[in-house]
Amino acid sequence: MGREEGKELGRTEEKYQTALKMIKKGLDLSLTQEITGLSEDEILKLKNKLG
């Protein structure tokens, strides 16, 4: 993996971690999308993993 790929992977992981924190706090889906840039589907998958 190259340096740029590693940076992109890190940014994506950070988005997911931020989304997980927002979900745990009970924040609105649309706000989570706006802040993280993740799709509704991606956020719902994370939410389902939490149970």
pLDDT tens digit string along 1-51? 788 888 888 889 999 999 999 999 999 999 999 999 999 999 999 999 988
DSSP state of 26: T
Instruction: Give me the pLDDT at residue 41, please.
Output: 97
Please name the residue that has the structure tokens 């745990």. Answer: 24
**Where do the structural domains in the chain lie, given as residue ranges?**
3-50
The CA distance from 7 to 20, in Å, is 20
Instruction: Give me the pLDDT at residue 8, please.
Output: 82
The CA distance from 40 to 38, in Å, is 7
Task: Write down the pTM of the prediction.
Answer: 0.83
Instruction: Give me the pLDDT at residue 21, please.
Output: 97
